[in-house]
Amino acid sequence: MNNLLVAPSILAADFANLQRDIEMINQSSADWIHFDVMDGNFVPNISFGLPVCEAVNKHAQKPIDVHLMVEHPEWFIEAFQKAGATYITVHYEACAHLHRVIQQIKEAGCHPGVALNPHTPVSVLEDILPDLDMVLIMSVNPGFGGQEFIPRSLKKVEELKQLIKKQNLEVLIEVDGGVNLETGQKLADAGVNVLVAGSFVFKSESPLDTIKALKNVGS
């Protein structure tokens, strides 16, 4: 059975035709809609925020997977839950009080995740792992789409998988950055549960076929 989940990142969608692209994802074999929030402080780019999430939620028939690449993510948890988020992932590097923020996400009724930048080792999550539903390994430096996959990410996935097994947990491993059929296959083999793909999906000739092909790398 293929348990690999695919979450197209609408950071790479056509913003002038966002409803059309959300409806394409609805019709596809994708599992989630990945929603990248950037504040221009934590990462050197600004993307979109709450009003866009609310608009996406009006048309989405799949869970919205919100990735907060922002400073002070604790300011926005409840608002994104109200805007339609099912999963909310915050960055380890952005949270001085990570445990408190994770509890806040749970209290809001969402699934909590923690993202790690490429330079951050998975070992920092050892104590917080039992409180998480998901870990997001960034396989590029966050801030911009269309970057090349960092090969070291595969090793991090394997290390994280061992850490999860050691604690006998059921925590999803998500990877975002440079995902295509080749890297997707390697990631699936390494134990990834969720593939995030932006440019690879939306810049392809047939996004529906591309999503289906990504789903199939896990089978």
Residue 46, amino acid: I
What is the C-alpha to C-alpha distance for residues 160 and 48, in angstroms, rounded to an integer? 30
What is the C-alpha to C-alpha distance for residues 66 and 53, in angstroms, rounded to an integer? 9
Q: How many residues does the chain have?
A: 219
Q: Is 36 a catalytic residue?
A: yes
Active-site residue identified among 36, 39, 65, 133:
36
Nearest to 52 by CA among 42, 70, 69, 64: 64
Active-site residue identified among 21, 65, 133, 176:
176
* DSSP code per residue over 49-80: -HHHHHHHHHH--S-EEEEEESSSGGGTHHHH
Q: Is 176 a catalytic residue?
A: yes
Task: Name the residues annotated as catalytic.
Answer: 36, 176
